[in-house]
Amino acid sequence: MQCCKVKKLLSAYVNHDLGAHETSGIRTHLQSCDDCSNEHASLVRMLDTMKMIPIPEPAPSFWGMLPDRVRYLLEERHIITGEHSVRGWFIRYMEQWRPLLLGAALTSVVFLVIPVVTNTPDAPESEASHLSTLLGDREASVRFGYMDIDWQSKEMEDILSRLGVNHKSITELKTIRSETADHSVKLLKQKKELLRNIHSYQLETNGRGNFDEAMAELGRTEQKLLQLKSEEAKKVAEFLGEKDMGRLVVEWDVLLRNKKLNQNGLGGVQKQEKGEK
């Protein structure tokens, strides 16, 4: 094989993207040709360097806030387009992807029955266990930081009992929570207000200064919130153990969602929206 051909095929050779015949031809050539062998070594070094190019990190609060930001964008667009609620908007999307349901929407009975039947929640425990397989401990801790758990509720007591936490310990857990609850509620309100302001500044022509200031403030609030929540998460994790905290987080989320579905039902929400119109 000639040098010019070998050099042309080196990238494919390094990438194991050649047939056996060409691969063997190049290998033999490299053993006897210093020039091509140096070229090969240089290419491998370049690929190694390329893989080690680091990336600039996003703002510190970016990872923690991403799901909230996405949710907020969805909500905002929904408001801008004059829709009534995120939930109602979401149901409209469901209709689009489920043509059968859309077709059947000719009668209100179908609206009341099909969504409820198709969305009948799984038993909270089994679904929580299913979702738990996707949620690692680390993510559970992160998620815990963004959850608003009602520690006084009967449902939470049930979850804790299922995890084997006795009554006395439940009281202690509630105390841990109440130590930080007021502060965190205040910070969450502040964060919501800032996000609202940031969005309105984005729409203003001369809002850049306010926007930057609000973004900086949002970063600081987020930091405080993260610190507060991580302290709380640490205490709860120490108390329950990380594995059970993961289970608690998922069970609470699933329970909350299923409760909402049972209360409203998708048809119920649809009916309510029709009434509003």
What is the smallest separation between the CB atom of 29 and other proteins, expressed in angstroms?
17
CA angle 64, 70, 73 (to 5 degrees): 135
Residue of the chain from 2, 3, 8, 208 that contacts other proteins (CB under 8 A)? 8
59 contacts other proteins (rule: CB under 8 A) = yes
DSSP the chain: --HHHHHHHHHHHHTT-S-HHHHHHHHHHHHH-HHHHHHHHHHHHHHHHHHT-------TTHHHHHHHHHHHHHHHHHHHTT-S-HHHHHHHHHHHH-HHHHHHTTSHHHHHHHHHHHTPPPPHHHHHHHHHTT--HHHHHHHHTT----TTSHHHHHHHHHTT--HHHHHHHHHHHHHHHHHHHHHHHHHHHHHHHHHHHHHSTT-HHHHHHHHHHHHHHHHHHHHHHHHHHHHHHHHH-HHHHHHHHHHHHHHHHHHHHHHH-HHHHHHHHHHH-
Tokens linked to 147:
């959850």
| Site map 94..133 versus other proteins, x via CB under 8 A | x-xxx-------------------xx---------x-xxx
Residues 176-215 binding other proteins (CB under 8 A) are: none
Residues 225-264 binding other proteins (CB under 8 A) are: 241, 243-244, 246-247, 250, 253-254, 257, 261
**Of 55 and 106, CB closest to other proteins:** 55
**Of 225 and 255, CB closest to other proteins:** 255
19 contacts other proteins (rule: CB under 8 A) = no
**Of 90 and 190, CB closest to other proteins:** 90
Are 201 and 210 in contact by the 8 Å Cβ rule? The answer is: yes
Residue of the chain from 35, 41, 60, 74 that contacts other proteins (CB under 8 A)? 74
What is the smallest separation between the CB atom of 225 and other proteins, expressed in angstroms?
17
Are 165 and 173 in contact by the 8 Å Cβ rule? The answer is: yes
**Of 179 and 204, CB closest to other proteins:** 204
Tokens linked to 27:
């290998």
Which range in 23-31, 64-72, 170-178, 224-232 contacts other proteins by CB under 8 A?
A: 64-72
Amino acid (1-letter code) at residue 114? I
Contacts with other proteins by CB under 8 A: the residue count is 66
What is the smallest separation between the CB atom of 182 and other proteins, expressed in angstroms?
26
Residues 145-174 binding other proteins (CB under 8 A) are: 163-164
Are 271 and 108 in contact by the 8 Å Cβ rule? The answer is: yes
Residue of the chain from 4, 20, 50, 106 that contacts other proteins (CB under 8 A)? 50
What is the smallest separation between the CB atom of 24 and other proteins, expressed in angstroms?
19
Return residues touching other proteins (CB under 8 A).
8, 10-12, 15, 17, 42-43, 46-47, 49-59, 62-63, 66-67, 69-71, 73-74, 77, 87, 90-91, 93-94, 96-98, 118-119, 129, 131-139, 142-143, 163-164, 241, 243-244, 246-247, 250, 253-254, 257, 261, 266
